[in-house]
Amino acid sequence: MDNFRNIGLIGRLGSKAVIDTLKQLMRFLEERGLNVILDEKIAEVIPGHGRQTCKRKMMGEICDLAIVVGGDGSLLGAARSLARSDIPVLGVNRGNLGFLTDISPQDIEERVAEVLEGGYSVDSRFLLDVSIRRKGESVGEMVALNDCVLHPGKATRMIQFELYIEGQFVYTQRSDGLIVSTPTGSTAYALSAGGPIMHPKLDALVLVPMFPHTLSSRPIVVSGNSELKLVISEENSTYPTISCDGQADFSLVPGDVISIRKKSHKLRLLHPRDYNFYQTCREKLGWSSKPGA
């Protein structure tokens, strides 16, 4: 426990269940003599809490561990803010699937106690830096843990773009867009679009076309160190959008160039010691739980 003295708590807004779990966590942690620091946004909806608060980006500087209560979306948002500080992050599931937030509320005190006492495994997940240039000038930057998605935005028309990998031209494509996913995101939107499931330890990216106007277009798996470039064709009559983790959007214009590369900082995701990726897939994706079934 000497490693985890200052514990930051982050929660999804708009959920009574999340607030109840956070209050339980606060009591539990303080009974163990630990200092609790609340994300200032969640602190606003817990009147009279009496705890120290801070901005999320500062939490990585003053805390030894961040616990996120919510769904995978909550952890994605926290990861983008905290990855630069190298703070370990632990997820408590108050959402739907819970691929990243794998501690259930029913086991919260037992599981968190195990982690505090050193009973955990560390999962290193890489993120993506996404930058947009327009006429040679930088106009936007974003970060993604799951994926970045090029899509038509509010329009329902196909878009045309060129794909380059490591400076080499790959293809010009007309489609509803392209999903560029990390292994973390391979069980999210990319999976729904027909992409492969990648083990989190893989150093790879998968590129999944969205309804391409050709029968021969298939997902491509490339090195995680690859630098990708998407060029929005001048022939487009609509303005597409680039989205990161489904939470941050940027409107594009014909001629824009999107560069995608691995971020230098990684997310340190903690799991209980008995965490098993394949067991998570069985539980979340409905795989058979019996050998030979």
Any binding-site annotation on 191? yes
Q: What is the mean pLDDT of residues 162-191?
A: 97
Region for 83 from its dihedrals, namely left if φ exceeds 0, alpha if ψ lies in -120 to 50, beta otherwise: alpha
How far from chain centre, in Å, is Cα 174?
27
What per-residue confidence (pLDDT) applies to 48? Answer: 83
Express each pLDDT in 31-85 by its tens digit: 999 999 999 999 998 888 888 999 998 999 999 999 999 999 999 999 999 988 9
Between 273 and 165, whose confidence is greater?
165
Any binding-site annotation on 147? yes
Q: Is the domain of 101 the same as that of 205?
A: no
Asked if pLDDT for residue 227 goes beyond 90, the answer is: yes
- Could you list the residue range(s) of the whole structural domain that residue 249 is in? 127-263
In a domain? residue 171: yes
Distance (Å, whole) CA 190 – CA 149: 9
Q: Is the domain of 133 the same as that of 256?
A: yes
Q: Is the domain of 132 the same as that of 250?
A: yes
Q: Is the domain of 257 the same as that of 131?
A: yes
Distance (Å, whole) CA 88 – CA 72: 16
Q: What is the mean pLDDT of residues 176-193?
A: 96
Q: Is the domain of 80 the same as that of 31?
A: yes
Active site members: 72
Q: Is the domain of 12 the same as that of 103?
A: yes
> Residue 156 — very low, low, confident or very high, per pLDDT cuts 50/70/90?
confident
Distance (Å, whole) CA 209 – CA 54: 40
Asked if pLDDT for residue 2 goes beyond 80, the answer is: no
Here the CATH number for the domain that contains residue 177 is: 2.60.200.30
Distance (Å, whole) CA 43 – CA 121: 29
Q: Is the domain of 66 the same as that of 144?
A: no
Distance (Å, whole) CA 5 – CA 20: 22
Any binding-site annotation on 72? yes
Here the CATH number for the domain that contains residue 21 is: 3.40.50.10330
Express each pLDDT in 93-136 by its tens digit: 997 778 999 899 899 999 999 999 999 999 999 999 999 999 99
Q: Which helix (H) or strand (E) holds 111?
A: helix 108-116
Q: What is the mean pLDDT of residues 262-267?
A: 95
Sole residue written with tokens 């691929």: 99
Q: Is the domain of 259 the same as that of 145?
A: yes
**Are the CB atoms for 190 and 257 separated by under 8 Å?**
no
Structure tokens at 134: 């327009």
Give 167: exposed, middle or buried? Use CB within 10 Å, 0-12, 13-18, 19+. Answer: exposed
What per-residue confidence (pLDDT) applies to 154? Answer: 85
Any binding-site annotation on 156? no
Q: Is the domain of 105 the same as that of 28?
A: yes
Q: Is the domain of 103 the same as that of 137?
A: no
Q: What is the mean pLDDT of residues 141-161?
A: 94
Structure tokens at 124: 């290193």
Between 110 and 1, whose confidence is greater?
110
Asked if pLDDT for residue 289 goes beyond 80, the answer is: no
Structure tokens at 56: 């999320």
> Residue 1 — very low, low, confident or very high, per pLDDT cuts 50/70/90?
very low
What per-residue confidence (pLDDT) applies to 198? Answer: 97
Distance (Å, whole) CA 56 – CA 125: 19
In a domain? residue 292: no
Q: Is the domain of 99 the same as that of 142?
A: no
In a domain? residue 291: no
Number of domains in the chain: 2
In a domain? residue 80: yes
Least confidently predicted of 38-47, 178-187, 195-204: 38-47
Any binding-site annotation on 189? yes
Any binding-site annotation on 187? yes
Asked if pLDDT for residue 217 goes beyond 80, the answer is: yes
In a domain? residue 268: no
In a domain? residue 1: no
What per-residue confidence (pLDDT) applies to 96? Answer: 79
Half-sphere CA count of 194, side-chain side, radius 13 A? 10
Q: Is the domain of 78 the same as that of 142?
A: no
What per-residue confidence (pLDDT) applies to 292? Answer: 59
In a domain? residue 293: no
3-state secondary structure 140-174: EEEEECCEEEEECCCCCCCEEEEEEECCEEEEEEE
Distance (Å, whole) CA 108 – CA 99: 16
Q: Which amino acid is at 254?
A: P
How far from chain centre, in Å, is Cα 21?
22
Instruction: Give percent above pLDDT 90 in the chain.
Output: 80
Any binding-site annotation on 188? yes
